[in-house]
Amino acid sequence: MSVIEIRDLSKIYNNSNIAFDSINLDILNGEILGIAGPVLSGKSSLLSVIARKSNPTSGTIDFADYVNISYFSSDISLPEQVKVFDFTLLLVSLNNMEEDSKYNEIVTLLKKFDLHNYASSQIADLSFFQKRSLAILGALINKPNLLILDEPFRGLSIEEIEKLTIYLKNILNREMSCVISDIKLDNLERIASSIALMFEGTIIHKSDILSYSRIAGRNIIQLSVEGNLLKFEEKLAYLTLQKELTYIRSNSIFTVTFFQSRQMEDCFFLLSDIIKSIGLSVSFMKSISPQVDLQLIDIVQGRLQLGRPHFQSLLKNIDALENSLDIEES
């Protein structure tokens, strides 16, 4: 079921400056959509319209009746002289919520973002990363089911990006949809369930993360395990921090995507060693990652500076490639 349906959406500033044009996009319930594109590709303008912060010039955007939207932008500033916990209570008040019923939830959120030890600190005393985490936490206070994050990783170090990714993974759930933008695909593929590429105001390609990973030439293994799943997920989360892999979990089924240039058999051996060390039993474990044309890897690695003619000529091959992969697997 779609949370949002966007049809022929355009945004033009001052009657001439086109932010984005003829966008058609569906955002599904529980989908985490990563939108990647270079500076001035229209990402921020699109997210602003989706979040109802600005109006489109033309086209339609239909929201499901139950949508509760929260919006974060990396340009948002915080009240520096306010204490962290007082800031969260202020947001509760602004959202017309009962403080007593929200107290425990606020404490839980502060813990999930490693800010609970700074509850009595002034925001001015926090680090840049802590302020970014607090701003995103603020967008979660009213328990949205559609979270809009405009470039949350901007200005962060590699280590901070990894940490924020883990925070977000712990927050997002099947009842919450999320749209998250960034200029780097690598930042998005660690958290997104689908990827859209945006270039010069147009969505030029969208696919689920599995299809994207296949096009990018990643090694992907899907497995179903029984036993201490929490321990297994902890091991995978550690390897995510080490930039070895990313994963998606659906109950006992894990889809693991490897970033490093490992041979497929090495990927199997790594997972097998983890499974053995924990004492899990395996229902199935299989590869779902065929080899792909290296030319197409240029597309999904974010090399958008190729220029529109060359870029679009490459894009024509994507659908044909995905169709051929589907035929091979069937």
3-17, 125-139, 143-157, 254-268: the lowest-pLDDT one = 254-268
pLDDT at position 116 is 92
**Per-residue tokens: 12:** 């033009």
pLDDT for 96: 57
Across the range 204-227, mean pLDDT stands at 76
Model pLDDT, residue 41: 86
pTM, two decimals, is 0.69
Domain 219-287 class in CATH: alpha beta
Give the mean pLDDT of 101-116: 84
Rounded CA-CA distance 50/48 in Å is 6
Reduce the DSSP state of residue 296 to 3 states and report it.
helix
CA 4 remoteness from chain centre: 17
* Mean pLDDT confidence for 11-36: 90
Mean local confidence (pLDDT), 72-85:
90
pLDDT tens digits, 250-292: 889 998 888 766 777 788 889 998 998 999 999 888 887 543 3
What angle separates helix 158-171 from helix 99-112, to the nearest 10 degrees?
Answer: 140
Evaluate if residue 315 carries a pLDDT over 70: no
Q: Which of 123, 177, 128 is nearest to 157 (CA)?
A: 128
What are the boundaries of each domain within the chain? 2-210, 219-287
Using the predicted structure, report yes or no on whether residue 241 has a pLDDT greater than 80.
no
pLDDT at 170: 85
- Look up the CATH architecture of domain 2-210: 3-Layer(aba) Sandwich (3.40)
Q: How far apart are CA 258 and CA 237, in angstroms?
A: 13
**Structure confidence at residue 175 as a pLDDT band (50, 70, 90):** confident
> Which residue would you say has higher pLDDT here, 111 or 92?
111
Q: What is the mean pLDDT of residues 42-49?
A: 94
Angle between helices 158-171 and 229-241 (to 10 degrees): 150
Q: Name the strands in the sheet holding 17-28, side by side, starting at the edge strand that comes first in the sequence.
A: 17-28, 2-13, 58-63
Q: At what angle do helices 128-140 and 158-171 cross, to 10 degrees?
A: 20
pLDDT in the model for residue 202: 85
How many CB atoms are located within 10 Å of the residue 203 CB?
Answer: 21
Axis crossing angle, helix 84-94 with helix 128-140, rounded to the nearest 10: 30
What is residue 165's predicted lDDT score, i.e. its pLDDT?
Answer: 92
Distance (Å, rounded) from C-alpha 236 to C-alpha 225? 13
- Asked if residues 258 and 219 have their Cβ atoms less than 8 Å apart, the reply is yes
Mean pLDDT for 197-212 is 78
Q: What is the pLDDT of residue 264?
A: 79
Q: Cα–chain-centroid distance for residue 92? A: 26
Cα–chain-centroid distance for residue 34? 5
Give the C-alpha separation, 322 to 163, whole Å. Answer: 33
